[in-house]
Structure 1
Amino acid sequence: MAGIGFTLRKMTGRGDLWGIVQAYSYSALLSSGPWLFTILALVGITFLTRYLVTWDDLLIFRTIITYNFSFSLVFCGPIVMVGTRLLADQIHEDRLDRAPSLLFSMMMAYIALVSLPLIYLYGYAAALTASQRAAAIAGGYLIGLIWTVVVFVSALKNYTYVSAVFFIGMFIAFVSCSMLLASYGATGLIWGFNAGLAFILFGLLAWIFVEYPALPREPFILFRQGGTYWVLGISGLSYNMAIWVDKWVMWARDSNVDVVAGILRTAPYYDSAMFLSYLFTIPVFAVFFVNIETAFFEKYNRFYKSFQKHVTYMTIESYQRDIINFTMLSLRNLTVLTGLLAILIVLSAAFILETMNIPFKEIGVFRFGALGACLHVLAMFTMVFLSYFDFRKPVMILNVIFLLANFTFTWLCADYFALHGMGYFLAAALTFVLAMGCLVYNLKRLAYGAFITNNPSI
């Protein structure tokens, strides 16, 4: 994302409001495009169609989209993390002729991993019609494949095209659902949503193949080279599982769950409040990627390039102090920004829920979710800084701790309605505190880490 940030930062430096709006909008879209599209489209379609279809049809549609989103994130986690690192290596080595091979390999890996669970759940276990089974399986493939494609889209510079593809896809989803719901109910809603996803997937693929015209000659490149970065794979898997594990626990433990198609369990009041709380963290993502990560990368690059120039140890120490000071100052500013955002959300929670037509009983979950989401993004940004210095194992351990803590705390709070959402909040707080401690410790040993612990020649 730092490479994108340099281009986006030029927009903010033009001195006009439109440039600032463009930069932050593109940053939000590129950092969370599929997730943002799914949440906005799901909320919009639900709002527009709630009086046009039965509650049962709407519940089937929302449940299948929620499950597909969960499947796609968890199974894409290791693939995207390892694939992103391999793509970065290719860019560094100026071997972008291998990018199509990597993309093809990542897409095939996702299809191979997710096929059995998708087909078993929708094709056998769930009580759905044949058309609903096919639509649900297709949706599971489409959302995950978009996640893999976005890795490559983020390295391109045509942000206008990318934005247009996402917004046109969302518009197609709205129109298709509106046209099909009257005659086909839940089935029409799922296929209509898939139409928007398909447009996004193939629209992005079209531009990628324009930018990277080489043929995919190494279809197994992810499996051949990805083993080196197995720690990143575990990090990606545990991180994405941690995002969803509190929902899984609530689906299993909550007495007020909805059971769809005989087997698909969801807790709508919990899920809706948590998804909405995530949505409010997008501005923080935009600020981080446009301003902070870009400036950080400049200092990071200067520090490591100084080794090649054989500078003195005093110079290296001064560059290290610059990195430490900038990182701590940036995290302090982000903490203040997210803290103010969390306070604003908590105080205006009643108004937000009323505006979104969400039952008031969800206010506790929403408030805990907002506080947890703010701490969650801070922990994630801290791990981004650690990842720059290739501290893969500490990041993996932090993600595993986040997963175990979210599961444990949510399980302990599940029987107490007033505490729903607190498990996620406590897990995010614990992860942020540990991540900060890990970052401070490793930043003080940065030069030692660069020359000794992270030196591949030793």
Structure 2
Amino acid sequence: MAGIGFELRRMLRKDSYLAEMSAYLYAAMVSSGPWLMSVLCLAVLGLYSYSGFSRHDQDIFRTTIVYVYAFTLIYVGYIQLVVTRYLADRFYLNDSKVTLTAFWTSAFLVLLAGGVIGGGAIWFFELALTYKIIAVELFLIVAMIWLAMIFLSAVKDFHSIVQAFAIGTAVSVGGAFFFYPFMGLDGYLLGYTVGQALIFFWLLARLLAEFPPAKVWDPKMLTYFIKYWELALIGFFFNLAIWVDKILFWFAPDSRMVVPYLRTHDMYEGPIFFAYLTIVPSLAIFLVKIETRFYEHYHDYFAKIIAKKELASIIEEKKGMITMLKESLREILIVQGSLTLVCLLLAPDFIAVAGLSPLQKPLFQIALVGALMQVMLSVAVIILFYFDLRKEVLAVTLVFFLSNSGLTWLSIQLGFTFYGFGYCYSCLISLMFAYYLVSKSVENLEYITFSSQPLA
């Protein structure tokens, strides 16, 4: 995403409040578009539903959307980082013509396995056959949106991404209202699916316009799953770690079965999802300012190594990179910490506006702290990725997954008073471990850099 970050940073040079606001809005959409738009859709459809649209139907629809986004993110995770690495390597060799070939190959893998997984999973839910078919189609479409986002970041076309999500979201809302009188709940989901399909085909059209026609199969890309097996595991388990606490709560004793076997947890889900929304500004700031500044130092550091500059010059560049990292982390902590503090103080008012129960206020507050640590964890992981420390990232990922699983299970056993603490302490443990690895890696960067090179 650093390439898009540089494009957005050019908007800041216009030195106007409108340009700065536009840059950060674009960054928010690029970094969190599918998630933000799905939340907006659910909010609008929940507020302005038909009078005949029962609470039970609303629960089925909302839970379906949550399941689709959760499991597509987990499912596509195994391919996202591998494809990103493959594209980065090919672009470094000025071989951008493989982009469409890689996309078609990836799409085949995602659709083939996704159709089997999605169809097999939803078959057990006691829902109408038409609804199941539409839900599987939505699952595949959203999975393809996640995949297309990787390739759109390669062309640095943030305008297309924003336009696609804005118009597609509007069509999802309008389509749900349009089809409901004719098809009931099936039509509601169909309308939403039509809007998501528009998003995907819009992104696909942009890809087809950017890159020349190519072959539909790329065997070289498949070798990357063996060569970079850590990336496949990281992508899968990191996304699973983010969702595992929600999944465990769906099977908690006080969870609710909407229909067999579609489950939800009313007390846990709402506060957690609203707390997640608070990290969007930090993600936007990271994309526009921090990652681009870090990349410049990172590029200069390795440029000096490649140019065989003297060691003192290389170490001096490393010191600049470390200074910049400390300043950047401090900036994120200030921005996210301030926002978290404001939300903590205004939690009672926010709970009332969001329509949550006053009983959920402590859970929302602990989730806010957890979200703060999760965004810091994500930054640490990205830094480790820049230094190609895949095994270290995999270790952090497994710590996050195992701790979130174990501590969430423990919080469920302890009761409602402890809800959210499992997720929060998991983020804390993972964050401490990640920053230990970052500190250790940066300190020994020269050794890691030179010792990792192949022998002449």
Which secondary structure does the structure 1 equivalent of 2:154 belong to?
Answer: coil
Once the two structures are TM-superposed, the CA of residue 259 in structure 1 deviates from its matched residue by 1.1
Q: Is 2:424 aligned against 1:425? A: yes
Residue range with higher mean Cα deviation, 374-383 or 364-373: 364-373
Q: Does 1:247 align with 2:250?
A: no
Matched residue, 2:173:
174
1:61-98 per-position Cα deviation (integer Å, ceiling 9, x unaligned): 11111111111011111111111111111221111110
CA drift of 1:217 comes to: 4.0
Question: Which amino acid is 2:348 matched to?
Answer: A
Matched with 1:36 is 36
Deviation for aligned residue 1:46: 1.6
**Secondary structure of the structure 1 residue equivalent to 2:299:** helix
Check conservation: 1:86, 1:226, Cα contact below 8 A: no
Q: Could you tell me how far apart the structure 2 residues matched to 1:345 and 1:168 are?
A: 30
How many angstroms apart in 1 are the aligned matches of 2:157 and 2:166? 15
Match of 1:320 in 2: 318
Matched-pair contact (CA < 8 Å) for 2:100–2:208? yes
Higher alpha-carbon deviation: 294-303 or 56-65 = 56-65
Looking at structure 2, the residues matched to 138 and 148 of structure 1 have their Cα atoms a distance apart, in angstroms, of 15
Residue in 2 that maps onto 1:70: 70
1:370 aligns to what?
368
Does the residue aligned with 1:15 lie in a helix, a strand or coil?
Answer: coil
Q: Distance in 2 between matches of 1:137 and 1:291?
A: 39
Q: Which residue of 2 aligns with 1:296?
A: 294
SS of the residue 1:177 aligns to: helix
Q: 1:4 deviation in Å?
A: 1.3
1:347 aligns with one of 341, 345, 348: 345
Structure 2 partner of 1:96? 96
Q: 1:456 to 1:235 in 2, by over 3 A?
A: farther
Residues 456 and 241 of structure 1: is their aligned pair in 2 closer, same or farther, counting only changes over 3 Å?
farther
Contact 2:105 2:216 in 1 (8 A): no
Q: Which moved more, 1:109-118 or 1:135-144?
A: 109-118
Work out whether residues 105 and 221 of structure 1, in 8 Å CA contact, stay in contact via their aligned partners in 2. Answer: no
- TM-score of the two chains, using structure 2 as the length reference: 0.96
Q: Does the Cα contact within 8 Å between 1:372 and 1:426 map onto a contact in 2?
A: yes
| Residue aligned with 1:260, SS | strand
* Corresponding residue of 2:120: 120
| 1:406 counterpart residue number | 404
Deviation of residue 116 (structure 1)? 2.4
Distance 2:218 2:316 in 1: 45
> Contact (CA 8 Å) 1:57, 1:185: kept in 2 or not?
no
Tell me the equivalent position of 2:55: 55
Superposition map of 1:209-220 within 5 A: 209-220=208-219
Question: Matched residues in 1 for 2:212 and 2:346: separation?
Answer: 50
* 1:260 corresponds to: 258
Deviation at 1:195, TM superposition (A): 0.8
Q: 1:325 Cα shift? A: 1.4
What residue is the counterpart of 1:46 in the other structure? 46
2:366, 2:421 within 8 Å by CA — same for their partners in 1? yes
Which residue identity lines up with residue 302 of structure 2 in the other structure? Y
1:23 is aligned to 23
The 3-state SS of whatever aligns with 2:287 is helix
1:224 alignment counterpart: 223
- Contact map agreement 1:249 1:410 (CA 8 A) in 2: yes
Which amino acid in 1 is paired with 2:78?
Answer: P
Unaligned runs of 5+ in 2: none
CA contact (8 A) 2:4 2:158 kept: no
Whole-angstrom CA distance in 2 between matches of 1:276 and 1:143? 21
Partner of 2:111: 111
Q: Which runs of 4+ in 1 moved over 4 A?
A: none
Q: Is the 8 A contact 1:75 1:113 kept in 2?
A: no
Deviation at 1:50, TM superposition (A): 7.0
More off after superposition, 366-375 vs 435-444: 366-375
Alignment TM-score, normalising by the size of structure 1: 0.96
Partners of 1:231 and 1:396 within 8 A in 2:
yes
**1:288 positional shift:** 0.6
Alignment-mate amino acid for residue 230 of structure 2: V
1:369 aligned counterpart, secondary structure: helix
Inter-partner Cα distance in structure 2 for 1:362 and 1:230: 41
Instruction: Tell me the SS of whatever aligns to 2:48.
Output: helix
Q: How well do the aligned residues superpose, as a CA RMSD in angstroms? A: 1.5
Q: Which amino acid aligns with 2:272?
A: M
Question: Per-residue CA shift, 1:89-148, capped at 9, x if unaligned?
Answer: 1221111110011111222222233222211222x3111111101111111111111000
Q: Distance in 1 between the 2:69 and 2:245 partners?
A: 15
Distance 2:187 2:356 in 1: 25
